[in-house]
Chain A
Amino acid sequence: MNLKLAPDADSPVSAPSREEEYALIQRILRGEKELFHHLVRPYERRVYVMAFAILRNEADAQDAAQDALFKAFKHLAQFRSEARFSTWLIQVTLNEARMRLRKNHLEIMRPIDEVEQEDGSYTPRDFTDWREIPSEALERKQVREMLVKALASLTQKYREVFVLRDVQHLSTEEAADVLGISPGAVKTRLLRARLMLRDFLAPGLDGAWANPSTLPKGTKPWS
């Protein structure tokens, strides 16, 4: 197998149209297996982020991403073209990450608010004014680590919905299909996930983090 990499392997690759993707899949299924990497290359980042969001560990996420892509390769014939290939791939990755989580018994480390009601009611705990965030702030490792920590604070069911909707940008219906829950449940969980993340982040991210020079030396905006 001689897979050709893009000239800059870390640069984002735009996804092909659904028709192009379908044609590519048919060619792979007919034996041109070397094309598989072209098929998944645009989604590798999303696969990794999905695995990382569930497993919360870089090494595990890398392994899970690799296994998920290999499983997608082995079971490509099972892909039904009614769904987007990217959605199917994300579902394969989610299943792989969940399986690893169960295998590693990591679920015992889940936060304790798993029994919350799903009636959609949630009272924000913090009303700090949080100014708009410049995208450049995400270049800072401290900020990214804080986002990971906040995401990890959510229970798995909220984290899964939030990642599918707001990180993977799936529609409510697609997220519902992936998770096997109703669109209403997706909306309810998403509301709570967003508000919980806001509560977690807002006290520190009230704008000061965008301009760290305003903070006393040695302090972190979220500590």
Chain B
Amino acid sequence: MVLKCEDIWREISNYVDGDLDPQLKVAMDEHFAGCAKCRSVFDGTRNVVQIYGDEKAFKLPANFHPQLHRQLEARVQGTRAQGSAWILAVAAMILLAASVWVVTLHNRAAVPVHHTMSPETAERIKTLVVVAGDTKYFHLAGCPYIHGQQRTMFADEALRQGLIPCDKCLKDLAEQLTGIGPIRDNDVASKDPAMDAE
């Protein structure tokens, strides 16, 4: 097998890796014996592999290992702290929900809420509304149009987010604010806001 220099260059990487057909290797050895150019290409390629494969080719920054160790440790600890924070947050939410529930029960029993918390907090809690499903409406507690997944938020926050009270709750609110008694159903279109959203 007679090889040209171009054939040698094409296979030189495989030759360095010892990944060659034995016959081809013999032919390349013969070529190298008589071709200084290809021999220099081979030497250089082998040197490149050797020099970059040496651990000393890349020096690590000073204190790399201890620094990495410290940072990694801090971040893994951070993960744990975040985990604890999450558990605390859930616990806080459960406590809050339980408090609201207790307050609601107290309200139903005609016990003024300010007996159990500060008047400001009590007033604030009264503004909690329910957002149900993926709609633009919020509801007052007890609204029959609360359907689907529910979440609570304060009314001012709901309004800031562009949510509006459902028709029934708007009517109830109007009654409370004006004190003019029940508004007739045909004064405010009565329909299920969830249906509207769909």
Contact = CB atoms under 8 A, between A and B. Distances in A.
Interface of A: 1, 3, 5, 9-10, 12, 33, 36-37, 41, 44-45, 48-49, 52, 58, 62, 65-66, 69-70, 73-74, 120-124, 127-133, 135, 138-139, 144, 147-148, 151, 162, 166-167, 169, 172, 187, 190-191, 194-195, 197-198, 201-202, 205
A138 B65 contact: no
8 contacts: A1-B80, A37-B73, A44-B64, A139-B56, A151-B52, A166-B48, A198-B41, A201-B44
A91 to B, nearest CB: 19
B60 interface: yes
A138 B57 contact: yes
Contact of A70 (B19, B45, B57, B72): B72
Contacts of A121: 6, 9-10
Interface centre among B44, B53, B65, B79, by most chain A C-beta atoms within 10 angstroms, is B44
Bin the interface of chain B by size: 35 or more
Nearest to A59: B61
B50 interface: yes
Given A121-B6, A197-B48, A10 B57 contact: no
B193 to A, nearest CB: 42
B59 to A, nearest CB: 6
Contacts of A49: 58
Contacts of A33: 76, 80
A129 B75 CA distance: 51
Contact of B12 (A3, A127, A195): A195
Q: Give the 8 A-B CB pairs with smallest separation, nearest first.
A: A191-B13, A198-B44, A138-B56, A9-B65, A130-B44, A127-B37, A202-B44, A197-B48
B91 interface: no
B190 interface: no
Contacts of B60: 10, 45, 48
B66 interface: yes
A172 B16 CA distance: 14
Contacts of B73: 1, 3, 37
A167 B52 contact: yes
Interface of chain A: mostly helix, strand, loop or mixed: helix
Contacts, number: 146
B19 to A, nearest CB: 8
Given A44-B68, A166-B52, A130 B57 contact: no
A131 B54 CA distance: 17
Given A66-B71, A194-B49, A48 B43 contact: no
A191 B47 CA distance: 14
Contact of A144 (B48, B58, B67, B75): B58
Given A48-B60, A73-B76, A190 B13 contact: yes
A166 B17 CA distance: 10
B57 A74 contact: no
Given A124-B41, A166-B49, A202-B44, A191 B77 contact: no
Contact of A74 (B41, B44, B47, B79): B79
B14 to A, nearest CB: 7
Contacts of A48: 58, 60-61, 64
Contacts of B49: 166, 194
B55 A12 contact: yes
Contact of B66 (A5, A122, A131, A172): A5
Given A45-B55, A70-B75, A37 B69 contact: yes
Given A121-B10, A127-B37, A194-B13, A69 B48 contact: no
Contacts of B52: 147, 151, 162, 166-167, 197
B51 interface: yes
A66 B44 contact: no
**Residue among B6, B45, B48, B64 with the highest chain A CB neighbour number at 10 A:** B48
A201 B79 CA distance: 46
B45 A198 contact: yes
